[in-house]
Amino acid sequence: MLTRTIGRYLSWPVDRLAALLAPTGIPPNVITWSALVLNLWAAILFAAGRFASAGGMMIAAGLCDLLDGRVARRQGRVSIFGGFLDSILDRYADLILFLGLLVYYASVNRFREAVLVGAAMAGAVMVSYAKARAESLVPASEVGFWDRPERLALMILGALVNRMPVVLWILVIGPNITVIHRILHTWKQTEGRGPVPVSSVRRAGSSAAPISSSVPPKTAREIPETRPILTRSAGRGG
Residue 170 lies in a domain: yes
Q: Reply yes or no on whether the pLDDT at 8 is more than 60.
A: yes
Stated pTM of the model: 0.77
- Residue from 64, 58, 65, 21 nearest 40 by CA: 58
**CATH code of the domain containing 7:** 1.20.120.1760
Cα(92)–Cα(123) distance, integer angstroms: 14
Residue 31, sorted as left (phi over 0), alpha (psi -120 to 50) or beta, turns out to be alpha
Q: Is residue 209 part of a domain?
A: no
Distance CA 233, CA 66 (A): 16
Helix (H, G, I), strand (E, B) or coil at 72: helix
The total domain count for the chain is: 1
The answer to whether residue 196 sits within a structural domain is: no
CB 190 within 8 A of CB 138: yes
Q: What is the pLDDT of residues 73-125, one digit of tens each?
A: 999 999 999 989 999 999 999 999 999 999 999 999 999 999 999 999 999 99
Non-local (6+) Cβ contacts of 165 within 8 A are 113, 116
The predicted-structure confidence for 182-232, as pLDDT tens digits, reads as follows 899 888 888 756 555 555 334 444 444 443 444 444 433 333 444 443 344
Q: Which residue has the higher pLDDT, 238 or 104?
A: 104
Residue 198, in any domain of the structure: no
> Distance (Å, rounded) from C-alpha 31 to C-alpha 62?
11
Greatest CA span in the chain, whole angstroms? 67
Range of the domain at 166: 2-189+225-235
Would you say residue 208 lies in a domain? Answer: no
The answer to whether 176 and 126 have CB atoms below 8 angstroms apart is yes
| One-letter amino acid for residue 28 of the chain | P
Domain-embedded: residue 202: no
**pLDDT at 33 exceeding the cut of 90:** yes
